[in-house]
Chain A
Amino acid sequence: MKEHSDNLEDLIAAHRSDVHKPPSHLVQQWHDSIDEAAALERGRSGKTRQRWHPGSFFWGMAVSAALALGLAISFLMSDDVPPNVPQVAVNQTHADVVPVAFTRGLQVHLRDSRQQLANMDVADDTTLLVLSIIEQNRLFESVANKNNAPKLARVLRAFEPILLQLAATDIAPEDAEALRAQLSFELNVMLTKLAREASNETHTT
């Protein structure tokens, strides 16, 4: 019994020390696939405007799933509550009310995303960083749909094609800068809008 308990503790310790990074060869494959999709798209259109390729969406999903799995295991093992995953039940009594807890969680996500994008230059692996933002974004988009917030869900979905373009390793620095500026603007606008709506609700209730 004690031996079993020791093994379990070893396993938990080993797990906690694990940083949940996907294997490097898989990361390389994802990079290659995203680059290929981006190159394919450029070759097809031959135009300057940055577009995304829906095929790269799949690789975003694959990495998101891997990261989400890592996060989920981590939470289960540590009993910690993730800082910016909304612990919000679907609102069933008031169909048109967006739960306050969800809005607060979303504000944290938008602020974190803005901060991470601003610090992208110093990141070791920008692709992985952007894919982790996409993973969080998808979580919130899914929760937004379940919490009477289709407008917010649409805005979050609109971020993803831009994030996927940013995830490509061969993107030109000036294009990356333009995309980051656009995202930063849209994140700021949404943060201001959410804060204003929260303030209005406080004043009217």
Chain B
Amino acid sequence: MKTLAKFILITAALLLSTPSIAQSDVSDVSEELKIAAVEALIAAPADKALPLVTKVLEGNHSNEVKERALFILSQIDQPEAQSTLLKVARENQNDLGLEAVRMIGISGNDESLASLASIYENGNSEAREAVLEAYMIAGDKQSVFNIALTAEGDDFDEAIEMLSVMGARDELRELRGKTGVSEALIQAYAISGDFESLRELALDGSDVELQTQAIEAMGIVGGEQVDSTLVEIYRSATAEGVREAALHGMLISGHDAGVLELYRSSQDPSEKKQLLEFLVMTGSDEVWNIIDSTLTGDQ
């Protein structure tokens, strides 16, 4: 009886139409009621909820109400729910379509996820971003990797950025062999915490620009291994740019002790001056003792 009463209420709320209501506050209340009714559908059995959600999506409701209905749809484990999500994603080049793509990510259905590839290919930049986000939500690294293999420019950068936030180290390493090293790939290694790949690039002097980017990016990864490698790179570097990149890396990783160690071991006044500037930037407490000693002539 309780269930029946609930459904009568939900159905009545969902059938309300707003066009004839002029006052905005009345419209707001009506909108809130509809959203509350959609929310209540999660408690209904799938066979009862599905036709009501479909009715909302096909009806004369605001995008907000329809977007909420899509979330309910993502929680219904039925093929009809998937086909409706795909239909909305394909037929709407607007926020509603993008939200449907997100919901396909949440539902995690393999077939629907595979179908997103065509939306990526044919969609605008917002649709492409939404597809990447859906793959991230679904944890589908392979599909993002497949996109990165053929994408170019910003699309490539966005795909590997997404791989990095998914922690897809193996896929990112494989990409290096297929697409070569780029600034975006170095950033992706940093975000995914791939110290080994960055170290390899940081020690490779064949392209100084990429080398310095890799050295600085190591600072983002941080940790003892990074700190000791950065000090080692600084000490063995012959190029000024490489040394400066190592200092930037230490600044980013917060390795004050390393900069301090270099300052104390240096005998070159101009180098000491540069290291002191970096120490000031790190905000290390030790810097005040050093300044004091420098001014009193102890160093």
Contact = CB atoms under 8 A, between A and B. Distances in A.
Given A49-B98, A58-B191, A158-B105, A185 B42 contact: no
Interface of B: 35, 39-40, 42-43, 67-68, 71-72, 75, 95, 98, 102, 105-108, 125-126, 129, 133, 136-139, 154, 158, 161-162, 164-165, 190-191, 220, 283
A61 B190 CA distance: 12
B42 A157 contact: no
Given A54-B165, A185-B71, A189-B39, A150 B108 contact: yes
A151 B39 contact: no
Contacts of A55: 161, 191
B220 A58 contact: yes
A49 B95 CA distance: 7
A155 to B, nearest CB: 6
B68 A154 contact: no
Contacts of B102: 158
A170 interface: no
B280 to A, nearest CB: 13
B108 A151 contact: yes
A182 B67 contact: yes
Interface residues of A, number: 28
A31 B183 CA distance: 24
B126 A185 contact: no
Given A25-B283, A150-B108, A196-B43, A157 B137 contact: yes
Contacts of B136: 54, 157
A110 B282 CA distance: 38
Given A54-B162, A185-B71, A155 B126 contact: no
A99 interface: no
A44 B128 CA distance: 13
B75 A193 contact: yes
Nearest to B130: A51
Contacts of B129: 45, 51
Contacts of A189: 39, 42, 71-72, 75
Interface string A154-195: 110110010000000000000000000010011011001100
Nearest to A196: B43
Given A49-B95, A54-B164, A150-B108, A185 B137 contact: no
A2 interface: no
Closest 7 CB pairs of A and B: A57-B165, A54-B161, A158-B137, A58-B191, A189-B42, A157-B137, A54-B165
Given A44-B154, A154-B138, A193-B75, 8 more contacts: A52-B133, A154-B139, A158-B106, A158-B137, A182-B68, A185-B68, A189-B71, A196-B43
28 contacts: A25-B283, A44-B154, A45-B125, A45-B129, A49-B95, A49-B126, A54-B136, A54-B164, A54-B165, A57-B165, A58-B164, A58-B191, A58-B220, A150-B108, A154-B105, A154-B106, A154-B107, A154-B137, A155-B106, A158-B102, A182-B67, A182-B68, A185-B39, A185-B71, A189-B75, A192-B39, A192-B42, A193-B42
A188 B133 contact: no
Contacts of A196: 42-43
B69 to A, nearest CB: 11
A47 interface: yes
A158 B154 CA distance: 23
B108 A154 contact: yes
Contacts of B161: 54-55
Contacts of A186: 71
A158 B71 CA distance: 11
